[in-house]
Amino acid sequence: DAGVIQSPRHEVTEMGQEVTLRCKPISGHNSLFWYRQTMMRGLELLIYFNNNVPIDDSGMPEDRFSAKMPNASFSTLKIQPSEPRDSAVYFCASSRSGAPYEQYFGPGTRLTVT
């Protein structure tokens, strides 16, 4: 199994630009999660999907953030416009709906907004 795939691994952009992060979950997993990790706030859950449907987006910091899951094998997290405080590592994770329930994480995307 290829594991969760994220792209790009690193992204450097200027304030005000649009940023799109991509995720391919593990085949057969029907739940997908987007996290953000910073030194100040630790690991935060932004949004999660079940069977491609957004279940809870209460962790999305503001309207500049949006996420989609058009099919079972692809999801995007978009930031428009980006700001320096969005600089963080963004993780995507997936899991099955049944036991044993653990989430498998992608390698993360390190985003730097200058």
Partner 1 sequence: AQTVTQSQPEMSVQEAETVTLSCTYDTSESDYYLFWYKQPPSRQMILVIRQEAYKQQNATENRFSVNFQKAAKSFSLKISDSQLGDAAMYFCAYRDLGTSYGKLTFGQGTILTVHP
Which residue, 81 or 104, has its beta carbon nearer to partner 1? 104
Residues 73, 9: Cα–Cα separation, whole Å? 18
Token pair 């690193």 in the structure block, residue: 10
Q: Contact residues for partner 1 (CB under 8 A)?
A: 31, 33, 37, 42-43, 45, 48, 50, 55-56, 89, 91, 93, 95-97, 99-105, 107-108, 110
Which residue, 19 or 32, has its beta carbon nearer to partner 1? 32
User: How many Cβ atoms are within 10 Å of 107's Cβ, its own excluded?
Assistant: 14
Closest contact distance (angstroms) between CB of 23 and partner 1 is 14
Which residue, 14 or 56, has its beta carbon nearer to partner 1? 56
